[in-house]
Structure 1
Protein backbone atom coordinates (compact mmCIF):
# COMPACT_ATOMS: atom_id res chain seq x y z
CA UNK A 1 0.00 0.00 0.00
CA UNK A 2 1.04 3.59 -0.45
CA UNK A 3 1.96 5.57 2.71
CA UNK A 4 -1.45 7.29 2.55
CA UNK A 5 -3.30 4.00 2.64
CA UNK A 6 -3.13 1.10 5.12
CA UNK A 7 -5.56 -1.61 6.14
CA UNK A 8 -5.62 -4.01 9.09
CA UNK A 9 -7.68 -7.04 10.07
CA UNK A 10 -8.70 -8.54 13.43
CA UNK A 11 -10.69 -11.69 14.12
CA UNK A 12 -13.36 -10.72 16.65
CA UNK A 13 -15.06 -14.07 17.15
CA UNK A 14 -16.06 -17.40 15.61
CA UNK A 15 -19.50 -19.00 15.85
CA UNK A 16 -21.41 -21.87 14.21
CA UNK A 17 -23.40 -20.80 11.16
CA UNK A 18 -26.97 -21.78 12.15
CA UNK A 19 -28.60 -21.92 8.71
CA UNK A 20 -25.91 -23.65 6.62
CA UNK A 21 -26.83 -26.89 4.84
CA UNK A 22 -23.55 -28.48 5.94
CA UNK A 23 -21.35 -27.79 8.96
CA UNK A 24 -19.87 -24.29 8.74
CA UNK A 25 -18.39 -21.72 11.08
CA UNK A 26 -18.40 -17.97 10.60
CA UNK A 27 -15.50 -15.74 11.63
CA UNK A 28 -16.37 -12.14 12.41
CA UNK A 29 -13.55 -10.00 11.06
CA UNK A 30 -13.02 -6.35 11.87
CA UNK A 31 -11.41 -4.24 9.14
CA UNK A 32 -9.86 -0.81 9.65
CA UNK A 33 -8.70 1.35 6.75
CA UNK A 34 -6.73 4.56 7.00
CA UNK A 35 -7.14 6.18 3.61
CA UNK A 36 -7.78 9.49 1.94
CA UNK A 37 -10.67 7.92 0.00
CA UNK A 38 -13.38 5.42 1.02
CA UNK A 39 -12.95 1.75 0.17
CA UNK A 40 -15.23 0.70 -2.69
CA UNK A 41 -14.89 -3.07 -2.11
CA UNK A 42 -12.42 -5.76 -1.02
CA UNK A 43 -12.00 -9.19 -2.59
CA UNK A 44 -10.78 -10.77 0.63
CA UNK A 45 -8.92 -14.06 0.89
CA UNK A 46 -7.71 -15.80 4.02
CA UNK A 47 -5.55 -18.82 4.72
CA UNK A 48 -6.49 -20.33 8.09
CA UNK A 49 -3.83 -22.40 9.85
CA UNK A 50 -3.48 -24.32 13.10
CA UNK A 51 -0.60 -23.49 15.45
CA UNK A 52 -0.65 -26.58 17.70
CA UNK A 53 2.41 -25.62 19.75
CA UNK A 54 0.54 -22.65 21.25
CA UNK A 55 -1.45 -24.77 23.74
CA UNK A 56 -0.92 -27.66 26.19
CA UNK A 57 -2.59 -31.07 25.83
CA UNK A 58 -3.92 -33.61 28.31
CA UNK A 59 -2.91 -37.27 28.17
CA UNK A 60 -6.24 -38.12 26.52
CA UNK A 61 -5.68 -35.45 23.87
CA UNK A 62 -2.12 -36.65 23.38
CA UNK A 63 -3.39 -40.14 22.58
CA UNK A 64 -5.70 -38.68 19.95
CA UNK A 65 -2.82 -36.71 18.43
CA UNK A 66 -0.45 -39.68 18.14
CA UNK A 67 -1.13 -40.17 14.43
CA UNK A 68 -0.50 -36.47 13.68
CA UNK A 69 2.51 -35.65 15.85
CA UNK A 70 3.88 -38.93 17.20
CA UNK A 71 4.82 -39.38 20.86
CA UNK A 72 5.29 -36.38 23.14
CA UNK A 73 9.08 -36.49 23.02
CA UNK A 74 8.85 -35.72 19.29
CA UNK A 75 6.39 -32.81 19.57
CA UNK A 76 9.09 -30.15 19.64
CA UNK A 77 9.92 -31.11 16.05
CA UNK A 78 6.53 -32.28 14.76
CA UNK A 79 4.08 -29.71 16.14
CA UNK A 80 4.38 -27.16 13.37
CA UNK A 81 1.80 -24.84 11.87
CA UNK A 82 -0.36 -26.56 9.24
CA UNK A 83 -3.16 -25.54 6.90
CA UNK A 84 -6.83 -25.87 7.82
CA UNK A 85 -8.48 -24.12 4.87
CA UNK A 86 -8.56 -21.31 2.32
CA UNK A 87 -11.64 -19.08 2.27
CA UNK A 88 -12.87 -15.96 0.49
CA UNK A 89 -15.55 -13.29 0.74
CA UNK A 90 -16.46 -9.94 -0.80
CA UNK A 91 -16.44 -6.92 1.51
CA UNK A 92 -18.81 -4.10 0.47
CA UNK A 93 -17.71 -0.48 0.46
CA UNK A 94 -17.03 1.41 3.68
CA UNK A 95 -15.23 4.38 5.12
CA UNK A 96 -12.86 4.03 8.06
CA UNK A 97 -13.86 0.60 9.29
CA UNK A 98 -16.34 -2.25 9.00
CA UNK A 99 -17.02 -5.83 10.06
CA UNK A 100 -17.65 -8.82 7.81
CA UNK A 101 -18.48 -12.52 8.24
CA UNK A 102 -15.83 -14.83 6.78
CA UNK A 103 -17.24 -18.30 5.96
CA UNK A 104 -15.35 -21.33 7.30
CA UNK A 105 -16.85 -24.51 5.75
CA UNK A 106 -16.03 -27.60 7.83
CA UNK A 107 -16.02 -31.37 7.57
CA UNK A 108 -16.01 -34.19 10.12
CA UNK A 109 -14.21 -36.56 7.74
CA UNK A 110 -11.47 -38.05 9.93
CA UNK A 111 -9.30 -38.64 6.87
CA UNK A 112 -8.79 -34.84 6.81
CA UNK A 113 -5.87 -33.68 8.95
CA UNK A 114 -7.71 -30.68 10.38
CA UNK A 115 -10.65 -32.83 11.48
CA UNK A 116 -8.29 -35.31 13.14
CA UNK A 117 -6.72 -32.49 15.12
CA UNK A 118 -10.03 -30.94 16.16
CA UNK A 119 -11.55 -34.32 17.07
CA UNK A 120 -8.67 -34.99 19.48
CA UNK A 121 -9.22 -31.79 21.49
CA UNK A 122 -11.38 -32.07 24.59
CA UNK A 123 -11.29 -28.61 26.16
CA UNK A 124 -9.59 -25.24 26.01
CA UNK A 125 -9.05 -23.45 22.73
CA UNK A 126 -8.02 -24.10 19.15
CA UNK A 127 -4.97 -21.93 18.23
CA UNK A 128 -5.64 -20.42 14.81
CA UNK A 129 -3.66 -18.11 12.54
CA UNK A 130 -5.44 -16.10 9.84
CA UNK A 131 -3.27 -14.92 6.93
CA UNK A 132 -5.16 -12.26 4.98
CA UNK A 133 -4.64 -11.34 1.33
CA UNK A 134 -6.69 -10.07 -1.60
CA UNK A 135 -7.46 -6.94 -3.56
CA UNK A 136 -8.72 -3.54 -2.40
CA UNK A 137 -10.76 -1.36 -4.78
CA UNK A 138 -11.12 2.32 -3.98
CA UNK A 139 -12.12 5.50 -5.75
CA UNK A 140 -9.32 8.00 -6.12
CA UNK A 141 -9.16 11.48 -7.57
CA UNK A 142 -8.65 10.11 -11.08
CA UNK A 143 -11.12 7.20 -10.88
CA UNK A 144 -11.03 3.68 -9.45
CA UNK A 145 -7.72 2.25 -8.26
CA UNK A 146 -6.68 -1.26 -7.23
CA UNK A 147 -4.14 -2.26 -4.60
CA UNK A 148 -3.12 -5.59 -3.12
CA UNK A 149 -3.40 -6.33 0.59
CA UNK A 150 0.16 -6.52 2.03
CA UNK A 151 1.55 -9.98 2.71
CA UNK A 152 2.05 -9.31 6.43
CA UNK A 153 -1.63 -8.82 7.36
CA UNK A 154 -2.45 -11.61 9.81
CA UNK A 155 -4.14 -12.21 13.14
CA UNK A 156 -4.18 -14.98 15.75
CA UNK A 157 -7.37 -16.17 17.38
CA UNK A 158 -8.02 -18.86 20.00
CA UNK A 159 -11.35 -20.47 19.16
CA UNK A 160 -13.01 -22.31 22.06
CA UNK A 161 -13.09 -26.07 21.46
CA UNK A 162 -16.72 -25.90 22.59
CA UNK A 163 -17.57 -23.97 19.41
CA UNK A 164 -16.32 -26.83 17.23
CA UNK A 165 -18.08 -29.45 19.35
CA UNK A 166 -21.34 -27.49 19.25
CA UNK A 167 -21.12 -27.39 15.45
CA UNK A 168 -20.49 -31.12 15.11
CA UNK A 169 -23.15 -32.03 17.68
CA UNK A 170 -25.68 -30.00 15.70
CA UNK A 171 -24.99 -31.71 12.38
CA UNK A 172 -23.78 -35.15 13.54
CA UNK A 173 -25.10 -35.78 17.07
CA UNK A 174 -23.17 -38.64 18.74
CA UNK A 175 -21.72 -39.73 15.38
CA UNK A 176 -18.69 -39.25 13.16
CA UNK A 177 -17.50 -40.03 9.65
CA UNK A 178 -14.93 -42.59 8.53
CA UNK A 179 -14.19 -43.12 4.84
CA UNK A 180 -13.90 -46.74 3.70
CA UNK A 181 -13.01 -48.37 0.40
CA UNK A 182 -15.98 -49.65 -1.57
CA UNK A 183 -14.96 -53.30 -1.22
CA UNK A 184 -14.60 -52.80 2.53
CA UNK A 185 -18.13 -51.37 2.66
CA UNK A 186 -19.37 -54.42 0.68
CA UNK A 187 -17.68 -56.82 3.12
CA UNK A 188 -19.03 -54.92 6.11
CA UNK A 189 -22.53 -54.94 4.63
CA UNK A 190 -22.35 -58.70 4.10
CA UNK A 191 -21.09 -59.21 7.68
CA UNK A 192 -23.91 -57.05 9.06
CA UNK A 193 -26.56 -58.97 7.13
CA UNK A 194 -25.15 -62.39 8.01
CA UNK A 195 -25.20 -61.62 11.74
CA UNK A 196 -28.54 -59.81 11.76
CA UNK A 197 -27.23 -56.49 13.02
CA UNK A 198 -29.55 -53.51 12.70
CA UNK A 199 -26.87 -51.00 11.66
CA UNK A 200 -23.20 -50.66 10.80
CA UNK A 201 -22.35 -49.37 14.27
CA UNK A 202 -23.36 -52.72 15.78
CA UNK A 203 -21.34 -54.58 13.17
CA UNK A 204 -18.19 -52.55 13.79
CA UNK A 205 -18.57 -52.78 17.58
CA UNK A 206 -18.83 -56.57 17.31
CA UNK A 207 -15.80 -56.77 15.03
CA UNK A 208 -13.73 -54.67 17.42
CA UNK A 209 -14.64 -56.87 20.37
CA UNK A 210 -14.14 -60.21 18.60
CA UNK A 211 -10.70 -61.86 18.18
CA UNK A 212 -9.72 -62.02 14.51
CA UNK A 213 -9.76 -65.82 14.40
CA UNK A 214 -13.46 -65.86 15.38
CA UNK A 215 -14.65 -63.38 12.72
CA UNK A 216 -16.53 -64.74 9.75
Structure 2
Protein backbone atom coordinates (compact mmCIF):
# COMPACT_ATOMS: atom_id res chain seq x y z
CA UNK A 1 0.00 0.00 0.00
CA UNK A 2 1.52 3.36 -0.99
CA UNK A 3 1.80 6.01 1.73
CA UNK A 4 1.41 9.52 0.35
CA UNK A 5 2.26 12.99 1.59
CA UNK A 6 0.56 16.08 0.11
CA UNK A 7 1.83 19.68 0.16
CA UNK A 8 0.50 22.87 -1.43
CA UNK A 9 3.20 24.86 -3.23
CA UNK A 10 1.20 27.85 -4.46
CA UNK A 11 -2.01 29.22 -5.93
CA UNK A 12 -2.78 31.15 -9.13
CA UNK A 13 -6.01 32.28 -10.83
CA UNK A 14 -7.05 30.20 -13.83
CA UNK A 15 -7.23 32.73 -16.67
CA UNK A 16 -9.15 30.50 -19.06
CA UNK A 17 -11.88 28.80 -16.99
CA UNK A 18 -15.56 29.47 -17.67
CA UNK A 19 -16.13 30.54 -14.04
CA UNK A 20 -13.85 31.86 -11.27
CA UNK A 21 -11.29 29.15 -10.52
CA UNK A 22 -8.06 28.95 -8.54
CA UNK A 23 -5.34 26.46 -9.40
CA UNK A 24 -3.63 25.03 -6.32
CA UNK A 25 -0.23 23.51 -7.09
CA UNK A 26 -0.13 20.19 -5.23
CA UNK A 27 3.04 18.12 -4.74
CA UNK A 28 2.76 14.42 -3.84
CA UNK A 29 5.55 12.34 -2.30
CA UNK A 30 5.54 8.67 -1.39
CA UNK A 31 6.70 7.79 2.10
CA UNK A 32 8.78 4.69 2.61
CA UNK A 33 9.51 2.33 -0.27
CA UNK A 34 7.93 3.81 -3.44
CA UNK A 35 5.70 1.79 -5.76
CA UNK A 36 4.66 2.64 -9.33
CA UNK A 37 1.48 4.74 -9.17
CA UNK A 38 -0.80 4.27 -12.16
CA UNK A 39 -3.21 7.06 -11.24
CA UNK A 40 -4.97 8.71 -8.31
CA UNK A 41 -8.58 9.82 -8.24
CA UNK A 42 -8.06 12.63 -5.75
CA UNK A 43 -10.82 14.43 -3.86
CA UNK A 44 -10.24 17.32 -1.52
CA UNK A 45 -12.41 19.10 1.03
CA UNK A 46 -11.11 22.63 1.65
CA UNK A 47 -11.88 24.37 4.93
CA UNK A 48 -11.08 27.89 6.18
CA UNK A 49 -9.47 27.88 9.63
CA UNK A 50 -10.77 31.27 10.71
CA UNK A 51 -9.13 31.18 14.16
CA UNK A 52 -5.60 30.94 12.76
CA UNK A 53 -5.21 34.60 11.78
CA UNK A 54 -5.56 38.13 13.22
CA UNK A 55 -8.29 40.58 12.12
CA UNK A 56 -7.90 44.35 12.20
CA UNK A 57 -10.84 46.58 13.27
CA UNK A 58 -12.01 47.22 9.69
CA UNK A 59 -12.08 43.49 8.94
CA UNK A 60 -13.91 42.81 12.20
CA UNK A 61 -16.59 45.32 11.23
CA UNK A 62 -17.14 43.73 7.80
CA UNK A 63 -17.16 40.21 9.22
CA UNK A 64 -19.76 41.05 11.89
CA UNK A 65 -22.44 39.95 9.40
CA UNK A 66 -20.84 36.50 9.49
CA UNK A 67 -19.62 36.08 13.09
CA UNK A 68 -21.50 38.75 15.05
CA UNK A 69 -19.86 41.33 17.29
CA UNK A 70 -16.11 40.79 17.95
CA UNK A 71 -16.82 40.47 21.67
CA UNK A 72 -18.57 37.15 20.90
CA UNK A 73 -15.95 35.77 18.51
CA UNK A 74 -14.56 33.41 21.13
CA UNK A 75 -17.87 31.55 20.70
CA UNK A 76 -18.81 32.25 17.07
CA UNK A 77 -15.46 32.12 15.21
CA UNK A 78 -15.37 28.59 13.81
CA UNK A 79 -13.89 26.70 10.88
CA UNK A 80 -15.83 27.17 7.62
CA UNK A 81 -16.31 24.74 4.78
CA UNK A 82 -15.16 26.53 1.62
CA UNK A 83 -15.55 24.03 -1.21
CA UNK A 84 -14.74 20.61 -2.65
CA UNK A 85 -12.32 19.95 -5.51
CA UNK A 86 -11.10 16.91 -7.43
CA UNK A 87 -8.47 15.95 -9.99
CA UNK A 88 -7.06 12.81 -11.62
CA UNK A 89 -3.32 12.45 -10.97
CA UNK A 90 -1.41 10.69 -13.79
CA UNK A 91 1.19 7.94 -13.35
CA UNK A 92 4.33 8.61 -11.33
CA UNK A 93 6.78 6.84 -9.04
CA UNK A 94 8.30 8.26 -5.90
CA UNK A 95 7.30 11.89 -6.32
CA UNK A 96 4.89 13.97 -8.38
CA UNK A 97 6.33 17.48 -8.29
CA UNK A 98 3.19 19.41 -9.22
CA UNK A 99 -0.46 18.73 -10.00
CA UNK A 100 -2.88 21.62 -10.51
CA UNK A 101 -5.99 21.16 -8.40
CA UNK A 102 -8.80 23.33 -9.84
CA UNK A 103 -10.76 24.98 -7.04
CA UNK A 104 -14.16 26.44 -8.08
CA UNK A 105 -14.93 29.80 -6.48
CA UNK A 106 -18.17 31.72 -6.10
CA UNK A 107 -18.97 35.43 -5.85
CA UNK A 108 -22.40 34.70 -4.32
CA UNK A 109 -22.67 36.81 -1.16
CA UNK A 110 -25.25 34.44 0.28
CA UNK A 111 -22.36 32.02 0.88
CA UNK A 112 -20.35 32.28 4.10
CA UNK A 113 -17.01 31.71 2.34
CA UNK A 114 -17.62 34.58 -0.09
CA UNK A 115 -18.51 36.92 2.79
CA UNK A 116 -15.33 35.85 4.56
CA UNK A 117 -13.01 36.44 1.61
CA UNK A 118 -14.64 39.79 0.84
CA UNK A 119 -14.24 40.92 4.45
CA UNK A 120 -10.44 40.61 4.42
CA UNK A 121 -8.13 43.45 3.37
CA UNK A 122 -4.77 41.71 3.22
CA UNK A 123 -2.71 38.91 4.73
CA UNK A 124 -3.58 35.27 4.19
CA UNK A 125 -6.50 32.87 4.43
CA UNK A 126 -5.51 29.81 6.50
CA UNK A 127 -6.73 26.75 4.61
CA UNK A 128 -6.98 23.12 5.68
CA UNK A 129 -7.11 20.58 2.84
CA UNK A 130 -8.54 17.14 3.69
CA UNK A 131 -7.74 14.53 1.07
CA UNK A 132 -9.52 11.34 0.09
CA UNK A 133 -9.82 9.24 -3.05
CA UNK A 134 -8.54 6.10 -4.71
CA UNK A 135 -4.96 5.10 -5.56
CA UNK A 136 -4.24 2.63 -8.37
CA UNK A 137 -0.73 1.12 -8.22
CA UNK A 138 1.42 -1.87 -9.21
CA UNK A 139 2.48 -4.38 -6.57
CA UNK A 140 5.79 -6.24 -6.48
CA UNK A 141 4.50 -8.76 -9.04
CA UNK A 142 3.34 -6.01 -11.39
CA UNK A 143 -0.35 -6.64 -10.79
CA UNK A 144 -2.69 -3.66 -10.57
CA UNK A 145 -4.09 -2.98 -7.11
CA UNK A 146 -6.32 -0.33 -5.58
CA UNK A 147 -6.40 1.36 -2.18
CA UNK A 148 -8.20 4.26 -0.55
CA UNK A 149 -6.68 7.51 0.71
CA UNK A 150 -7.59 8.07 4.33
CA UNK A 151 -9.22 11.32 5.50
CA UNK A 152 -6.23 11.56 7.86
CA UNK A 153 -4.21 12.85 4.90
CA UNK A 154 -4.28 16.63 5.12
CA UNK A 155 -2.24 19.75 4.41
CA UNK A 156 -2.35 23.39 5.43
CA UNK A 157 -1.81 26.35 3.14
CA UNK A 158 -1.78 30.12 3.71
CA UNK A 159 -3.61 31.49 0.66
CA UNK A 160 -2.73 35.16 0.06
CA UNK A 161 -5.88 37.28 0.14
CA UNK A 162 -4.57 39.21 -2.86
CA UNK A 163 -4.64 36.06 -5.00
CA UNK A 164 -8.39 35.72 -4.39
CA UNK A 165 -8.94 39.43 -5.10
CA UNK A 166 -6.88 39.23 -8.32
CA UNK A 167 -8.94 36.22 -9.47
CA UNK A 168 -12.27 38.00 -8.91
CA UNK A 169 -10.95 41.15 -10.62
CA UNK A 170 -9.97 38.94 -13.56
CA UNK A 171 -13.48 37.50 -13.95
CA UNK A 172 -15.55 40.46 -12.69
CA UNK A 173 -13.50 43.66 -13.17
CA UNK A 174 -14.87 46.40 -10.88
CA UNK A 175 -18.06 44.39 -10.32
CA UNK A 176 -19.87 42.57 -7.53
CA UNK A 177 -22.85 40.24 -7.73
CA UNK A 178 -25.96 40.62 -5.60
CA UNK A 179 -28.80 38.09 -5.69
CA UNK A 180 -32.24 39.47 -4.79
CA UNK A 181 -35.77 38.14 -4.63
CA UNK A 182 -37.56 38.24 -8.01
CA UNK A 183 -40.23 40.60 -6.70
CA UNK A 184 -37.52 42.98 -5.46
CA UNK A 185 -35.86 42.81 -8.88
CA UNK A 186 -39.13 43.58 -10.70
CA UNK A 187 -39.77 46.56 -8.40
CA UNK A 188 -36.24 47.86 -8.98
CA UNK A 189 -36.59 47.30 -12.73
CA UNK A 190 -39.87 49.26 -12.80
CA UNK A 191 -38.22 52.09 -10.84
CA UNK A 192 -35.30 52.17 -13.28
CA UNK A 193 -37.61 52.39 -16.30
CA UNK A 194 -39.95 54.97 -14.79
CA UNK A 195 -37.07 57.25 -13.77
CA UNK A 196 -35.22 56.76 -17.06
CA UNK A 197 -32.00 55.48 -15.49
CA UNK A 198 -29.70 53.81 -18.06
CA UNK A 199 -28.62 51.01 -15.71
CA UNK A 200 -29.19 49.43 -12.32
CA UNK A 201 -26.15 51.19 -10.85
CA UNK A 202 -27.77 54.57 -11.50
CA UNK A 203 -31.12 53.37 -10.14
CA UNK A 204 -29.57 52.14 -6.89
CA UNK A 205 -27.51 55.32 -6.47
CA UNK A 206 -30.69 57.37 -6.96
CA UNK A 207 -32.50 55.34 -4.28
CA UNK A 208 -29.58 55.71 -1.87
CA UNK A 209 -29.54 59.47 -2.48
CA UNK A 210 -33.28 59.61 -1.69
CA UNK A 211 -32.67 57.74 1.59
CA UNK A 212 -29.86 60.14 2.57
CA UNK A 213 -32.05 63.16 1.84
CA UNK A 214 -34.91 61.71 3.87
CA UNK A 215 -32.59 61.00 6.79
CA UNK A 216 -31.01 64.49 6.83
TM over 0.5: yes
Task: Note the 1:19-98 alignment, pairs <5 A.
Answer: 19-34=16-31, 35-98=33-96
State the match for 1:10 in structure 2: 7
Q: Secondary structure at the match of 2:40?
A: strand
Does the aligned pair in 1 maintain the 2:39–2:136 contact within 8 Å?
yes
Separation (CA, whole Å) in 1 of partners of 2:52 and 2:205: 36
State the match for 2:185 in structure 1: 185
Q: TM-score, normalised by structure 1?
A: 0.93
Q: Secondary structure at the match of 2:10?
A: strand
Aligned length: 211
Q: Secondary structure at the match of 1:20?
A: coil
Does the aligned pair in 1 maintain the 2:62–2:119 contact within 8 Å?
yes
Separation (CA, whole Å) in 1 of partners of 2:34 and 2:174: 53
Q: Secondary structure at the match of 1:207?
A: helix
Give per-residue Cα distances to partners, 1:35-61, cap 9 Å, x unaligned: 442111000000000011111111111
Q: Secondary structure at the match of 2:108?
A: coil
Separation (CA, whole Å) in 2 of partners of 1:36 and 1:165: 39
Relative distance call for 1:76 and 1:174 in structure 2 (3 A) is same
Relative distance call for 1:180 and 1:148 in structure 2 (3 A) is same
Q: Secondary structure at the match of 2:109?
A: coil
State the match for 1:120 in structure 2: 119
Separation (CA, whole Å) in 1 of partners of 2:35 and 2:130: 25
Separation (CA, whole Å) in 2 of partners of 1:210 and 1:88: 48
Runs of 5+ consecutive residues of structure 1 not aligned to the other structure: none
Q: TM-score, normalised by structure 2?
A: 0.93
Q: Secondary structure at the match of 1:11?
A: strand
